[in-house]
Amino acid sequence: MIRTNASFPKKFLWGASTAAHQVEGGNHNQWSVWELENARALAMKAEYHISDLNKWDHIKDIARQPDNYVSGKAVDHYNRYKEDFDLLKKLHMNAFRFSVEWSRIEPEEGVWSAEAIEHYRQYIMELKKRDIEPVMTLFHFTLPVWFSDMGGFEKRRNVKYFERFAEKVAHELGPGVRYIVTINEPNVYLEQSYLEGSWPPAKQNKIVAWRVLENLAYAHKLAAAAIRDVSSDHLVSIAHSTTYTYAGDDSWLSSISASIMQYLSDDYFLKKIIKHCDYLGVNYYFSARVYGYRVHNPDEKQSDLGWDASPMNLQFALERLYDKYDKPILITENGIADMDDELRKWWISQSIVAMKLAMQRGVDLIGYLHWSLVDNFEWAYGKWPRFGLAAVNYKTMERRLRPSAKWFGAVIAKLRQ
Ligand code: IFM
């Protein structure tokens, strides 16, 4: 049990995170189009792609079904958000990260949906009513079809549409929202969509990938300026996915390789945008232990997705990023795919210790947002991975807090006393 004389300040944000497309249901965007086109192929390839996962025997029936790869109603958060916000209260949380769905707000170029804007206005009001600090993301991997059809972030000239969207959202929904995340995980978007080609637009092209990265940096810069023009009360960042990368032995090759990998995955992009950030949003899920020029992680503990589970390395990731960039850090995501709830309690308790140690070493930490509040549509893996503090029954949409979540809620209550 965590000792409750911990050094977490009173104003520390304890919360959970989600993203529109992964929970809302009923979206029409470049992802939903791609899902329908690719669901059958993903189901057919599951055996080949993921049959080495520990839980394969439990998931194979679902993973072979095309339906798994279609977000569809997701967990119907669009209609059930009040119920979900009540879960935050049950967990004694005081913060919540969500994304507004661009394709709902601007379904056609230059056409704004009053209905969608009103929906999100109510949504934010319901959070405020519950004394929950909203953390609002603008781009979390999904794009309106019209924007993606014109080339999305591949074209420099398209960035102005994102800037206009950011300005509109800041005007309409900004009042009362302090923390804004412009772009979620630019590095992950780039890797999956333009290098590995496993997400839409499913390209494998290093030159286009490099161009997208440059344009995302530019997009953040313009969006941050537009948001601050609307009100200087907003604090703006991206949510950066960091992989803590370290040498597994003391050879020079391991150490140089680890540094290069860390630079490419973190610093190349962060250096471009950090002066346009008021804080740094950090998502942490795994580390990379490097031997020579290869990653070979310890395999004692893994998530259901086969990801290395080293929650304690969060401490070193935070210290590195804080030392280098000198910005207050908000952990915008951290969690584990764990359908049987075997590791989540351990993961969270280790993460709390890691945060505490990092803070004792001087890291200015704003808060911790667990991924995810409820089970979510996990992109190309579909619905089988279970990240939620609350388990969702996809047939009945019933939410049930997992035992680890109940434990976490009790810990938060003590830490906030
Ligand atoms: O579900 C994703 C989220 O969309 C972005 N960060 C990582 C999560 C878990 O894979």
pLDDT in tens, 23-70: 999 999 999 999 999 999 999 999 999 999 999 999 999 999 999 999
β-pairing verdict for 133-139 and 179-184: parallel
Query: pTM here?
Result: 0.97
Residue 9 C-alpha to ligand 1 middle, in angstroms? Answer: 27
From 142, 304, 379, mutation site for ligand 1 pocket: most ligand atoms within 8 A of C-beta:
379
In the block, which residue shows the tokens 């989540």? 344
Residue 338 C-alpha to ligand 1 middle, in angstroms? Answer: 14
HEC string of 274-334? HHHCCCEEEEEEEEEEEECCEECCCCCCECCCCCECCHHHHHHHHHHHHHHHCCCEEEEEE
185 lines ligand 1 (CB under 6 A): yes
pLDDT at residue 140, as a whole number: 99
CATH number of 13-415: 3.20.20.80
Atom of ligand 1 nearest to the CA of 141: 4
pLDDT at residue 299, as a whole number: 80
pLDDT at residue 278, as a whole number: 98
In whole angstroms, what is the distance from residue 315 CA to residue 311 CA?
A: 8
pLDDT at residue 2, as a whole number: 42
From 189, 192, 371, mutation site for ligand 1 pocket: most ligand atoms within 8 A of C-beta:
371
Instruction: Name the residue ranges covered by the structural domains of the chain.
Output: 13-415
283 lines ligand 1 (CB under 6 A): yes
Residue 227 C-alpha to ligand 1 middle, in angstroms? Answer: 25
How much of the chain is in helix, strand and coil states, percent to nearest 5?
50, 20, 35
pLDDT at residue 219, as a whole number: 99
Burial class (CB in 10 A: 0-12, 13-18, 19+), 393: exposed
> In which residue ranges of the chain is pLDDT below 70?
1-6
378 lines ligand 1 (CB under 6 A): yes
Residue 249 C-alpha to ligand 1 middle, in angstroms? Answer: 30
Residue 378 C-alpha to ligand 1 middle, in angstroms? Answer: 7
Residue 278 C-alpha to ligand 1 middle, in angstroms? Answer: 23
Atom of ligand 1 nearest to the CA of 378: 1
Pick the residue whose CA is nearest to atom 10 on ligand 1.
378
Q: H-type helices in 192-294, by residue range?
A: 206-230, 252-262, 268-273
333 lines ligand 1 (CB under 6 A): yes
Q: What spatial distance separates the first Cα and last Cα of the chain, rounded to whole Å?
A: 16
Helices 206-230, 159-173: inter-axial angle, 10-degree rounding: 30
pLDDT at residue 203, as a whole number: 98
